[in-house]
A and B are shown apart, each in its own frame.
Chain A
Amino acid sequence: MANFYRDNADILFHMHNLDLTRVVDLKEDGFSNSDNSPYAPQDEADARDNYDRVLAIVGEIAGDFAAPRAREVDAEGATFADGEVTYPKGIQETVARINQADLAGFTMPRKYGGINMPITIFSAAIEIISRADASLMLVFGLQGLSDTICKFGSEEQKQRLLPRFASGEVMGSMALTEPDSGSDLQSVMLKAHQDEEGIWRLNGVKRFITNGCSDISLVMARSEEGTSSGRGLSLFIYERDQDMKVRRIEHKLGITGSPTCEIQFNNAKAELLGKRKLGLIKYTIYLMNGARLAVAAQSVGIAEAAYRKAYAYANDRSQFKQPIRNFAAIYEMLTDMKTMIEASRTLVYETSRIVDIKEGLEERLEKYPQRAADLNDELKRYTRFASLFTPLAKSFAAEMVNKVCYDAIQIHGGVGFTKEFDVERHYRDARITNIYEGTTQLQTVAALGGVIAGVVSERLNEYEENFDFTAVADIFQTAQKMRSHLEMAISFVKEKGDSVFQEFHAGRLVNMTTDVINTYLLCQNALRSERKKTVARVYLSKAYLRVKANLDYILANDHVLIDLHGEVIDKEE
């Protein structure tokens, strides 16, 4: 009997301490219960109690049901025969349980059959599921897709489609990538045209489509003939019929339980979602941002699984007549792993909270347009924060889980390299997190604008105004010093006005930003718990040096690598 929510003290800490007042108020529209739902909460405490209970159900399914099946899911993998995809038995069984528990419409409004959970709670749920089985997250987490229909679809589309998602009757996929359009989605070529009856038809191939075999896909296609930019793309809702063929599935390093499909549309009938030409620039950006946050949460979950196994092994395994955890080399790894996991978690929750508030404000604005004057400024602010924090959380958590799993195998030594232990699976599963939904390098590009434009300072100012850090003054002083290092680096790059130099240091600037934000968030956690104060101290002791080193490199104004990289990589002796 394992409950992956109840046994996780750190998630419980956040669920207890997170400031969700604004989030809950927006999500419940002032507890109006306008749909007369029997399961709507009465007030904030009631809503939080719901969140706790729902996460306990997720935790039970993850711990008792999914986790014991994960190894077999990985070994069996998704299979492809005669044009059809079969999910591993363990995934099928757990998905049935998830549907039975009414968890398939997690964030969806109650009026369409969902349970109306905030994204913050969804992130926690995704982490919990991913700790059990990273492949399973690709079904559970992809319900975010129905959010896109919910946000941009017509009322008729919503009423027709959303209850089917909520009941688990249909699963979704997002069909964006093509063989020649990966990071560069503006170049998508799959063609959409209207036939003589005005019905949209899709023609072309999509590749690397998670759950591409699913019942409903959101397909990005070029609807404007003769265009080549992102503004010629629209998003379509496609319901599976005989006009779409799964050509093959990929044989992957990890997340083998999730089918990654190559699919071909042969004049397949589809319907437009929202407006033409907004497919990439509005709807897909929204869809991808949701998916990025989900991958961040998935990363934390995989890391949690790997860390727990490494910790248990390090205590259990004796060498030189003592448990190996006593050796500095091992306890340093364990401490770094746990500190980075907790830092990622606090960043994922903060990002989720920001996204929740942004989404809530947009909904409220749509519902009460007369309040635009009150809401617009706040919405703009939270939109800026969401655009900055989402890529930060995704890149930090994804790189973190790769390091954590690497070290988890290292702590296990030789046996960690074998299939007898789970850490090798976690290591393989982790490897996709910093690639899909935009590589870490692309997250850097996405975050850099906000870093350069001062959005990070804007948010840090809010933290300084809203929290009294005197109780943790000693560590907060260092955090502020880090902040000034970051701002110094940003000004240096800006003043230089050299776009090549800026691009070269983009990753460093973004990493510095994440380190500074994390220290501010950990200092906030530290106000609530003595242990968290220690975690913040430990994080700071290394983060300060990282930030300092990055600043030194940037200020050194060193162009050696920029100027000479071709000499090294293109020429031989």
Chain B
Amino acid sequence: MGLHLIVTVKQVPDTHNVSGNAMKEDGTVNRAALPTIFNPEDLNALEEALKIKELTGGRVTCISMGPPNAVEVLKECLYRGADDVILISDRRFAGADTLATSYVLKCAIERVGSYDLILCGRQAIDGDTAQVGPQIAEKLKINQLTCVAAVTAVDEKSITVKRSVEDGYEIVKSRFPALLTITAAANEPRSANAKKVMTYKNIGKEMCSLSYDESYLAADACAIVDHIREWNVEAIAADPDQCGLSGSPTKVKKIQSVVLSARESRQIANNDAGIGELIHELIEENIIG
């Protein structure tokens, strides 16, 4: 017994180390110019899943949609204690916006089968949309608890969390299955485990066809990871038209680097007259009103 927890993870460009050629002329991210890292809040999601597993027992499956080298973030999941990892990779997934991404992840999750909880990072540092988690929940027609700052209780049937909302937080309880999006406030992610690093660092990945991989569905199939499964469009039984660029209604027209600066700063007298004057001016210019 125990819970089955699915964590979605993403390999992202390290936006803390952005250089001049971070964007390509066509407005897409120049991934070659940026080092890649584990999306930080996805690490928080993984940490929360591992903590829940330690409490209730069960297993943690991590999935990532991305190019072949996204296998590196999946290895990082194994290093920290994930029981199984799956790479969702296919040229036809490339260029996906959040709609197409959530569709692919939803298909992959259905392919994985039964689950109690899905945990996602709230948002990725490259797109910052915070849309993929909620869209997966919508497509799977399950409860979603977003912006989770803490898991306060969990048992075999339900979870209680503290959500960050605009003016504070709210405590919400949901039955399983449910999807959580986790924020950085939730925990301090653990480091990799030395033994697991040495065990898994050299494992390869293997493309799995649908028929080949039936064994995966057996409950004890992931006791030992000897390779990382890779699933393509067919393996997750996805509609190619809803994947990648063709499944993405979002079109980037132009990307511009905007540098915000306070060139025209002005000192306002710290008294009623000074503040009144400022309010008057803001109303005049239709900035407030």
Contact = CB atoms under 8 A, between A and B. Distances in A.
Contacts of A101: 190-194
A406 interface: no
A103 interface: yes
Interface string B177-202: 00000000000101111111111011
Contacts of B196: 39, 102
B194 A38 contact: no
A529 to B, nearest CB: 25
Contacts of B188: 65
A102 B192 CA distance: 9
Contacts of A46: 202
Contact of A61 (B191, B197, B199, B202): B191
Task: Give chain B's interface residue range (CB within 8 Å of chain A).
Answer: 10 to 19
A204 interface: no
Interface stretch (A47-55, A156-164, A179-187, A246-254): A47-55
A57 B197 contact: yes
A115 interface: yes
Contacts of A115: 194-195, 198
Task: Give chain A's interface residue range (CB within 8 Å of chain B).
Answer: 20 to 34
B199 A100 contact: no
A97 B188 CA distance: 11
A103 B198 contact: no
B191 A102 contact: no
A383 to B, nearest CB: 30
Contacts of B190: 97, 100-101
Contact of B191 (A40, A41, A49, A60): A60
Contacts of A100: 190-191, 193
Contacts of A61: 191
Nearest to B50: A100
Contact of A39 (B191, B192, B195): B195
B194 A57 contact: yes
Contacts of B192: 53, 57, 60, 101
A65 B192 CA distance: 13
B79 to A, nearest CB: 9
A57 B194 CA distance: 7
Interface of B: 16, 188, 190-199, 201-202
6 contacts: A50-B198, A53-B194, A53-B197, A57-B192, A61-B191, A103-B194
Given A53-B198, A54-B197, 17 more contacts: A39-B195, A50-B197, A50-B198, A53-B194, A53-B201, A57-B191, A57-B192, A57-B197, A61-B191, A65-B191, A97-B190, A100-B190, A101-B192, A101-B194, A102-B194, A103-B194, A115-B194
Interface of A: 1, 38-41, 46, 49-50, 53-54, 57, 60-61, 65, 97, 100-103, 115
